[in-house]
Amino acid sequence: MKRITFYLDFVSPYAWLAYERLPAVLEGLSYQVLYKPVLLGALLQQHGNPGPAGIAPKRGWTYRHVVWLGHAQGTPLQMPARHPFNPLPLLRQALACSDDGYINRFVAGAVLRHVWQGGQDALDVGRLAALAEQLAQQQRPGQDMHSDAPKALLRANTEAAQAAGVFGVPAFEVDGKLFWGLDSLPMLRAYLDGDAWFEGPDWEAAAQVSSGLPAKAKD
């Protein structure tokens, strides 16, 4: 059985699309998916990346693209009333349902649907309360989004992701290999199917190509 770590942040529409697509991609395989919430903003900041929402024309294109991808994939996806937004309350609410930094598929799906179905404000106080009620049976005793334990788990998850080279979400780690993005799912399946390409030189060699840009001056 393969263990696949799925790094996600609920603010990412691609995480929602990948969550919905993953079971079909992995059909017929023996696997375990471990859902690991991380703070996307911290991953982007580490590399000076503003993200798609930080570039105005790309923001508009990204939103059109993900809505179309949802349509093409058959996954209900409506942009929330405001985006981007601060995902910390949602990440901490999810991790209030965890002892070790991982959440189960039910919790991941509940929070993703909260954001990506219905076109409402993901941080609306009433909706957050309803989400907490929905997850009440999953929640650890004495924990909620305001507790210290979920905050510590999120910090640890994000730092571990940064150390592992995760630079965005969704990302999938298996056997020490990282696959990034919704469009990496066919590549992930090929690896899990034992495609001989992954045993050849190209996996390592492709990442070693020299940059043709001048090195940035250090402060």
Model confidence at 54, pLDDT cuts 50, 70, 90, reads confident
pLDDT digits (tens, 9 = 90+) for 126-152: 999 999 999 999 999 999 899 999 999
Q: Is there a contact between 174 and 25 (Cβ–Cβ < 8 Å)?
A: no
What CATH superfamily is the domain 2-206?
Glutaredoxin (3.40.30.10)
What's the full length of the chain, in residues? 219
Give the bridge partners for 172, in sequence order.
6, 179
Residue range 56-79: mean pLDDT, rounded: 97
pTM of the predicted protein model = 0.95
CB atoms within 10 A of CB 69: 18
Pairing of strands 171-174, 177-180: antiparallel
